[in-house]
Structure 1
Amino acid sequence: MKLFTTALLFAAAPMALGSAVPQLERKMTYDGYKVFRISTHHNPAAIKSKIAKFAAIPFNLDNNEHLDVAIPPEEVAAFEKLGLETSVMHQDLGKDVAEEGNFATYESTVGTQAVPSLTWFNSYHAYADHRTFFNDLQASFPSNSEIFEIGNSFQGRPIFGIHIWGSGGKGSKPAIYFHGTVHAREWISAKVVEYITYQLLTQYSTDTAIKAIRDKYDFYILPFVNPDGFVYTQTNERLWRKNRQTRSGASCVGTDINRNWPYKWEVTGGASTSPCSETYKGQAAGDTPENKALVAFTQKLKASKGIKLYIDWHSYGQYILLPYGYNCAARASNHATQSSLASGLATRIRQSYGTSFTTGPSCSTLYQTTGSAPDYLTDVGGATFAWTIELRPAGSSGGGFVLPPAQILPSGIEQWEGMKYLLANV
């Protein structure tokens, strides 16, 4: 089945990453799809022109050095005859999606007085199990943590988080503010956020460095900013990115929550005005229910003790991205400090498994984004530091959005080691 009309796919705004036809309530399979990384040699337009005749599912069409695309089985032979410089990310995307979807059963620890096991990080899990895991983890540390909700998604799911504090008492210190899974298909972001949460809670009483960090800051961690989209990736379409908001007069579904923040939303070039684009910015700044809830919560933190550090966790590419996204020449007032911290973070991450992260301002390092969270948090939310971290993988062998379960724990470990450095130095 042809999922994408190529004319629409490649005519979309520079950030077009996916669906360009109306999104129906269907179960999408990827059996036989082969995913290629195509070297562009800094001329992606020429490559897009060559592959325009194929019903390609784009993984990432924003990189000046390479394009990542899935080719349907009936077109693989013709694609390979083009003789492009490629490497294979997935030999059979459907097979890898099926392997990733073998969720382990989670047994609740409520009533056992036991902390959830680290075996949680051996597998991906259903959304309902994530909710139970967070409830169980919080129940193990009731005196210095709580589950909270900031509002509801378009389909009515609570946007929940966990608040963790130290010896100063609840809400007494500046905020460390983490988001995960704003883009639905980026499953590893939720797992990494969960691993960091797990370590912050379980190591407080035994690790003096973690105690010092917890006693200095309040942590507000929201693992699923886009719960509707995440659930949809588990039931219907693994590579879905946006929320599930419908709009009058539009046949396509969904808005990119990370192009909907009410700051520099009106700037052109960093998002799409087409409802069928994967980077659709919405009809007005901040008009998604998810973003309205996030903005209100952000302003609440700002008005309280302020926000020291904000990180929006994504995948993939292995980047530590600093402000700004809306303008490639713009720099934060404390840019030198941010650059130094980002370099130190990358060094600490690399020490665990040798994983290399590229650092730099978001627009000039990767691509332009408008209406994005870090820009809002920096200039409106008052955060001292507001970053995006793009997690594993970087190379073609890593799997892109469909990261093998065996890489969950290493991803969490290396980020946690990096966070220990960062949180001790911000």
Structure 2
Amino acid sequence: MRSIVFTSLFAAFATCTPTEVEADVVSYDGYKVFRVTTHGQTASVQETLSALPHDEWAHDIDHVDIAISPDQVEAFTALGLDYHVMHENLGNSIALEAASTTSWKRQADDPSWFSSYHSYQDHIEYFEDLQATFPNNSELITSGTSYQNRTIYGLHLYGDGGPGKPAVLYHGTVHAREWIAAPVVEYITLQLLQGYETGDTKTFLDKYDFYVFPIVNPDGFVYSQTTNRLWRKNRQPPPAGQTCIGRDINRNWEFAWNANGQGASTNPCSETYKGVKPSDAPENASLDGFLRKLRDSVGIKLYIDWHSYGQYILSPYGYSEDVLAPELSKWTATSSQVSNAIRDSSSRRTTFTYGPSGATLYITTGSAPDHVYSIGGADYSYTIELPDTGDYGFVLPPAQIRPTAEELWAGQKVLLGLLEQ
């Protein structure tokens, strides 16, 4: 008997009826994206940029990445900052990203799947096809539904002896515009299934149950494909009296949700808006409920929150740069080996930086890895920020999907082999 009862996925697909009336498509024609080198003075550079309308994509101690509309480019260059151009015309880059040179044959092992980006419905069908190739050791699952009633779908994989072993839990596409996350998670899932037949991954699946959710923010993801390529949050209406849509579901977890005045915003118009209270985003509430079922039934061995971009392997804590978890030395040693495996797996020599999230990158409160470790009891809990480090950012060309997925699978093989250490 299975130890956990999950909602029927097929019924959820049949009743999915999003209600949102789409807005006009947002154009990024003529927008430029710059990486501004801050020389360790990131806060000062951000203050300089604050008077200029812009969209900040990412930052760390050495740089800030920003998108600038055509009418603000002259004002930006007049600031005299040290920068290089990531996208000369963001609209053109988005158009090239959407172009597909291959046709998926609706076969789970068709490599052309990893040659282009796909629609939400295609992702659902891909996971259905994956499950059909491994019918005796897998099941389609869901944690629940989004605000617009889309299914948060996934796949549960297990080996000999049936389900009920400690869990490996993956969440992808937490932030809508981070398109590379879903195909990377899907590639890892495909390798687990194919490797089981050859024996390469049998040890992993016989020891752990895998719960894989490639798109946990489906409303935002669909909106990023149909209306605004750079949308980040979910599509939940704002609190009364406010006008900006969406919550950041990676600032909406219960643990450390209100730990300090940093790491998340109380402004509904902010990209990091944390909501009115913990788990008031329906996506977060359903994922948290699923997490607690795993915790109480089989326990959680490994959790990974898949994001882009920047090439980081980040462990708790995110809510503070000073508070260190007791397991940090173990996590850091493991991350080092994973980073080395990724770097050595291909000629690209892709390098991942690793360490505790708050100290390595920046403060985040109400984040998933902190919550899954502290509330969910996970032995290992990470955020992995996928490529790249400043050439493309969120708009990663389709030609980089498969190389990225292959490198991350090399890292996962090492990570899964180290879990008992």
TM over 0.5: yes
Distance in 2, Cα, partners of 1:143 & 1:80:
60
User: In structure 2, do the counterparts of structure 1 residues 84 and 127 end up closer, same or farther at CA, with 3 Å as the change threshold?
Assistant: same
Amino acid at match of 2:180: I
SS across alignment from 2:250: helix
The answer (yes or no) to whether the contact 1:185–1:401 under 8 Å persists in 2 is: yes
The answer as to 2:248 corresponding to 1:250 is no
Write the mapping of 1:363-374 to structure 2, written as runs, cut at 5 A.
363-374=358-369
Amino acid at match of 2:304: I
Report the equivalent of 1:5.
none
User: Could you say what the CA RMSD is over the residues aligned between the two structures, in angstroms?
Assistant: 1.5
The answer (yes or no) to whether the contact 1:116–1:136 under 8 Å persists in 2 is: no
Amino acid at match of 1:157: R
SS across alignment from 1:389: strand
Tell me by how many angstroms 1:105 deviates: 4.2
Q: Figure out how many residues of one structure are paired with residues of the other and give that number.
A: 394
SS across alignment from 2:94: helix
SS across alignment from 2:156: strand
What is the CA deviation profile of residues 20-42 of structure 1, one whole-angstrom value per residue up to 9, with x for unaligned ones?
xxx98231111111111001122
The answer (yes or no) to whether the contact 1:116–1:133 under 8 Å persists in 2 is: no
What is the CA deviation profile of residues 203-230 of structure 1, one whole-angstrom value per residue up to 9, with x for unaligned ones?
1111x34111111110000001100000
The answer as to 2:384 corresponding to 1:392 is no
Report the equivalent of 1:233.
224
Report the equivalent of 2:171.
179
SS across alignment from 1:29: coil
Report the equivalent of 1:89.
86
Amino acid at match of 1:267: A
Tell me by how many angstroms 1:140 deviates: 1.4
Write the mapping of 1:324-363 to structure 2, written as runs, cut at 5 A.
324-353=317-346, 354-363=349-358
Amino acid at match of 2:157: I
Instruction: Give every structure 1 segment of 4 or more consecutive aligned residues whose post-TM-superposition deviation is greater than 4 Å.
Output: none
Report the equivalent of 1:136.
129
SS across alignment from 1:257: coil
Write the mapping of 1:260-409 to structure 2, written as runs, cut at 5 A.
260-268=252-260, 269-353=262-346, 354-394=349-389, 396-397=390-391, 399-409=392-402
Distance in 1, Cα, partners of 2:202 & 2:280:
39
The answer (yes or no) to whether the contact 2:103–2:112 under 8 Å persists in 1 is: no
Distance in 2, Cα, partners of 1:137 & 1:209:
18
Tell me by how many angstroms 1:84 deviates: 1.3
SS across alignment from 2:123: helix
SS across alignment from 1:89: strand
Tell me by how many angstroms 1:106 deviates: 3.3
Distance in 1, Cα, partners of 2:72 & 2:396:
24
Report the equivalent of 1:19.
none
Tell me by how many angstroms 1:243 deviates: 0.3
Report the equivalent of 2:145.
152
SS across alignment from 1:243: coil
Distance in 2, Cα, partners of 1:51 & 1:375:
31
Report the equivalent of 1:222.
213
The answer (yes or no) to whether the contact 1:349–1:414 under 8 Å persists in 2 is: yes
Tell me by how many angstroms 1:193 deviates: 0.3
The answer (yes or no) to whether the contact 2:22–2:227 under 8 Å persists in 1 is: no
Amino acid at match of 2:204: I
SS across alignment from 1:147: strand
Distance in 2, Cα, partners of 1:150 & 1:163:
11
Amino acid at match of 2:249: I
Distance in 2, Cα, partners of 1:133 & 1:102:
19
SS across alignment from 2:223: helix
SS across alignment from 1:146: strand
Report the equivalent of 2:183.
191
Distance in 2, Cα, partners of 1:371 & 1:295:
12
Amino acid at match of 1:380: I
Percent identity, please: 52
Distance in 2, Cα, partners of 1:311 & 1:189:
11
What is the CA deviation profile of residues 110-164 of structure 1, one whole-angstrom value per residue up to 9, with x for unaligned ones?
xxxxx43011000011111111111111111111111111110000001010001
Gaps of 5+ in 1: 1-22, 110-114
